[in-house]
C-alpha cells in the first residue's frame, strides 16, 4: 500500500472523472484518478460528441476552435419536426461537435496541470473498509490506495457503486439492458452538394436526428431507442421509409449505449460519491450526459470542499449534494422523464397533432428539456394545451387513451417533481421518502 493518503480517489478518467479531478485539485486537494483503460484507448468508444457552446463558460471547460485537434464542427440552427416532417420548431444556440478521445485527453491534461495524479491501465477492484466505512480502494491487480473519499465516475459499468454493500446508502443496482438507450450513428456522405447539412433536425416520433459532422459533405444520422439495437434498426427502417432523406452513401456506423433510467435516490454514502453515467445523470429527452452530470459535480465539489475542511465526509456531511441537485436539475428531469414515458405511446397522427398545436412539442418545452431547467407553464400555456386537447378529442385527432396517458404523464411528472423538491434535508427521513418515490416510479413504468 502507498503511504500517502489521498483526499479524493476518482474511478474513471473520462469527461466526468477528469472534470471532478480538476475542480478538486484546483481547490488544493490531493487527488488521484484511476482509469481501467490505457492512455491511448481512453475515450475511443465514440468519435464525436456535442456540447452546447454556452456550457463551456458555465462549467469552465477548455475551449476549442476550428483547427484544434479536438474541434470537429459547429452549427447554429436546431430544428425538431413532426412525424410527417412538418411544423419545425427551432431551438436557439450554437452546438460544438468534438472528438471525444482528444477532448478527454485535453481534460486529463488540465486536471494534471491543476495537480491531480492519473494512473492508466488501473481498474478499480474493490473497496478498503475500516469500521464498515470506505477508506480506500484496491485496484490494478491488488494495489491499494487510501483516501478520505472515493468518487465513482466509471460510466455505465458503475464499477464501484455495484460493489457497495446493500445497506451503504447508495443503491447498487445494475444499469440493465432495459435501462439503456441504444444509439446508432450512421456517418454518411451526401451525393448532391445542395443537400449538405449546416443545421440539425430531429424527429422525436422516430427518435432520430440528422446533424452535421466533421466532413462538410457529410452528416451523422442518429437513432436512439430503448430495448435493443435491433429495435432501434426497426424504427430506423420505418423512418427511412416515411421521411424523405437526401441520397447518401454510408461511410461507417458507430454504436453505443447510454443510461436511460432514474438516478440512484442518493448519490452519497460515508466517504463516497457517485456521479456521471454511473449515477444515470443523463438527460431524459436524448440520453446525453456529459454536461448534465457536471450540474451535479459542481454541487458535489462545493459540498465536498466544505466537508473535507470540516474533517467530516460522512453520509450526513455529503447529503446536501442530493438536496441541491434535486432542486437544480433532478426534479425537472423526473418531470420530463415521466411525461415522455407516457407521451411516446401516442400514434403517428397524434404526434403530428401535438406538433401542429404546440402540445408538449412546443419550442418552449423543447428548449427547456434541452437546457435542463424547469418548464415554466403560464396560465396561458395551460389554457392553450387544454384547448388543443379538447379540440383534438372533438375532431377525433386524439384518442381518449392517448389523452389519458398524457394526463397521467403530466400528473405523475408533477408529483415526482414535488416529491424530489421535498427530498429530506437529512438521511433521517430518507426511508419513507424512498417508499413514496418507488410507488411513483412504478406508475411511470419504462419507456415503450
Ligand X SMILES: Cc1cc2nc3c(=O)[nH]c(=O)nc-3n(C[C@H](O)[C@H](O)[C@H](O)COP(=O)(O)OP(=O)(O)OC[C@H]3O[C@@H](n4cnc5c(N)ncnc54)[C@H](O)[C@@H]3O)c2cc1C
Give residue 21's region: left, alpha or beta (phi > 0; psi -120 to 50).
alpha
> In degrees rounded to 5, what are phi and psi of residue 246?
-65, 150
Name which position in 116, 150, 153, 274 contacts ligand X (CB under 6 A). Answer: 153
Of 147 and 257, CB closest to ligand X: 257
Cell triple for 325: 441537485
Task: Provide the mask over 106-145, with x wherever binding to ligand X is found by CB under 6 A and - wherever it is not.
Answer: -----------------xx---------------------
Of 123 and 372, CB closest to ligand X: 123
Of 213 and 338, CB closest to ligand X: 213
Of 35 and 320, CB closest to ligand X: 35
Of 82 and 154, CB closest to ligand X: 154
> In degrees rounded to 5, what are phi and psi of residue 127?
-90, 160
> In the range 158-197, which residues lie near ligand X by CB under 6 A?
159, 183, 185
What DSSP character marks residue 204? T
Of 35 and 70, CB closest to ligand X: 35
Q: How far is the CB of 48 from ligand X (least distance, A)?
A: 7
Give residue 311's region: left, alpha or beta (phi > 0; psi -120 to 50).
left
Element (H, E) at 86: none
DSSP strand pairing (133-139 vs 200-203):
unpaired
Instruction: Tell me, rounded to whole angstroms, the distance of Cα 50 from its chain centroid.
Output: 12
Residue 268's DSSP bridge partners are 273
> In the range 287-306, which residues lie near ligand X by CB under 6 A?
288-291, 293
Q: Applying CB under 6 A, what is the total number of residues that bind ligand X?
A: 35
Q: Report the alpha-carbon distance of residue 401 to residue 386 in Å, rounded.
A: 16
Q: How far is the CB of 125 from ligand X (least distance, A)?
A: 7
Measuring CA to CA, how many Å separate 184 from each of 98, 224, 234?
A: 18, 6, 12
Placement of cell 478538486 in the chain: 24
Q: Report the alpha-carbon distance of residue 304 to residue 23 in Å, rounded.
A: 11
Of 34 and 210, CB closest to ligand X: 34
Of 104 and 406, CB closest to ligand X: 104
Name which position in 78, 82, 154, 271 contacts ligand X (CB under 6 A). Answer: 154
Instruction: Report which of 223, 220, 254 is spatially closest to residue 238, judged by C-alpha positions.
Output: 223
Q: How far is the CB of 136 from ligand X (least distance, A)?
A: 14
Which value, in Å, is the radius of gyration of the alpha carbons in the chain?
A: 22
Q: Which stretch binds ligand X (CB under 6 A): 196-204, 256-264, 334-342, 427-435?
A: 256-264
Of 153 and 273, CB closest to ligand X: 153
Q: How far is the CB of 95 from ligand X (least distance, A)?
A: 9
315 binds ligand X (CB under 6 A): no
Residues 6 or more apart whose Cβ sits within 8 Å of residue 41: none
Q: How far is the CB of 175 from ligand X (least distance, A)?
A: 11
Instruction: Report which of 157, 203, 164, 201 is spatially closest to residue 180, judged by C-alpha positions.
Output: 157
- Cβ neighbours around 434 below 10 Å, total: 14
Task: Provide the mask over 7-46, with x wherever binding to ligand X is found by CB under 6 A and - wherever it is not.
Answer: ----xxxxxxx----------------xxxx----x---x
Task: Tell me which residues touch ligand X (CB under 6 A).
Answer: 11-17, 34-37, 42, 46, 49-50, 123-124, 153-155, 157, 159, 183, 185, 256-258, 276-277, 282, 288-291, 293
Amino acid at each position: 500500500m502507498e503511504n500517502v493518503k489521498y483526499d479524493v480517489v476518482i474511478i474513471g478518467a473520462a469527461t466526468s472523472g477528469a472534470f471532478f479531478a480538476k475542480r478538486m485539485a484546483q481547490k488544493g486537494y490531493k487527488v488521484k484518478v484511476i482509469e481501467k483503460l490505457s492512455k491511448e484507448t481512453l475515450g475511443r468508444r465514440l468519435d464525436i460528441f456535442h456540447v452546447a457552446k454556452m456550457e463551456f463558460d458555465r462549467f469552465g471547460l477548455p475551449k476549442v476552435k476550428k483547427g484544434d485537434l479536438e474541434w470537429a464542427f459547429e452549427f447554429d440552427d436546431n430544428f425538431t419536426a413532426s412525424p410527417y416532417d412538418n411544423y419545425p420548431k427551432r431551438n436557439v444556440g450554437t452546438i460544438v461537435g468534438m472528438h471525444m478521445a482528444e477532448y478527454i485527453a485535453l481534460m486529463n491534461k488540465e486536471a494534471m496541470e491543476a495537480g491531480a495524479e492519473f494512473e492508466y491501465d488501473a481498474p478499480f477492484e474493490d473497496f478498503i473498509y475500516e469500521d464498515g466505512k470506505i477508506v480506500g480502494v484496491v485496484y490494478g491487480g491488488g494495489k491499494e490506495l487510501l483516501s478520505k473519499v472515493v468518487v465513482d465516475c466509471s460510466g455505465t459499468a458503475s464499477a464501484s457503486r455495484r460493489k457497495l454493500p446493500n445497506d451503504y446508502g447508495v443503491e447498487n443496482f445494475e444499469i440493465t439492458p432495459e435501462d439503456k438507450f441504444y444509439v446508432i450513428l450512421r456517418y454518411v456522405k451526401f451525393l448532391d452538394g445542395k443537400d449538405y447539412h449546416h443545421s440539425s433536425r430531429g424527429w422525436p416520433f422516430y427518435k432520430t436526428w440528422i446533424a452535421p459532422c466533421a466532413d462538410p459533405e457529410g452528416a451523422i444520422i442518429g437513432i436512439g431507442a430503448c430495448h435493443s439495437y435491433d429495435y432501434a434498426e426497426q424504427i430506423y427502417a420505418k423512418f427511412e421509409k416515411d421521411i424523405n432523406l437526401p441520397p447518401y452513401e454510408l461511410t461507417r456506423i458507430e454504436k453505443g449505449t447510454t443510461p436511460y433510467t432514474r438516478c440512484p435516490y442518493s448519490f452519497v454514502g460515508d466517504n463516497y460519491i457517485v456521479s456521471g453515467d454511473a449515477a444515470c445523470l443523463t438527460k431524459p429527452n436524448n440520453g446525453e450526459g456529459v454536461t448534465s452530470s457536471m450540474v451535479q459535480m459542481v454541487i458535489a465539489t462545493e459540498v465536498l470542499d466544505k466537508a473535507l475542511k470540516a474533517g467530516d465526509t460522512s453520509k450526513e456531511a455529503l447529503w446536501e449534494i442530493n438536496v441541491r441537485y434535486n432542486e437544480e436539475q433532478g426534479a425537472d428531469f423526473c418531470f420530463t422523464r415521466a411525461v415522455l414515458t407516457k407521451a411516446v405511446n401516442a400514434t403517428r397522427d397524434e404526434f403530428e397533432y401535438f406538433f401542429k398545436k404546440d402540445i408538449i412539442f412546443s419550442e418552449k418545452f423543447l428548449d427547456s428539456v434541452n437546457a435542463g431547467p424547469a418548464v415554466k407553464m403560464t396560465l396561458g400555456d395551460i389554457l392553450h394545451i387544454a384547448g388543443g386537447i379538447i379540440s383534438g378529442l372533438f375532431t377525433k385527432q386524439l384518442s381518449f387513451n392517448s389523452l389519458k396517458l398524457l394526463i397521467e404523464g403530466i400528473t405523475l411528472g408533477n408529483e415526482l417533481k414535488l416529491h424530489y423538491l421535498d427530498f429530506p434535508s437529512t438521511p433521517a427521513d430518507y426511508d419513507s421518502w424512498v417508499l413514496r418515490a418507488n410507488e411513483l416510479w412504478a406508475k411511470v413504468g419504462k419507456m415503450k
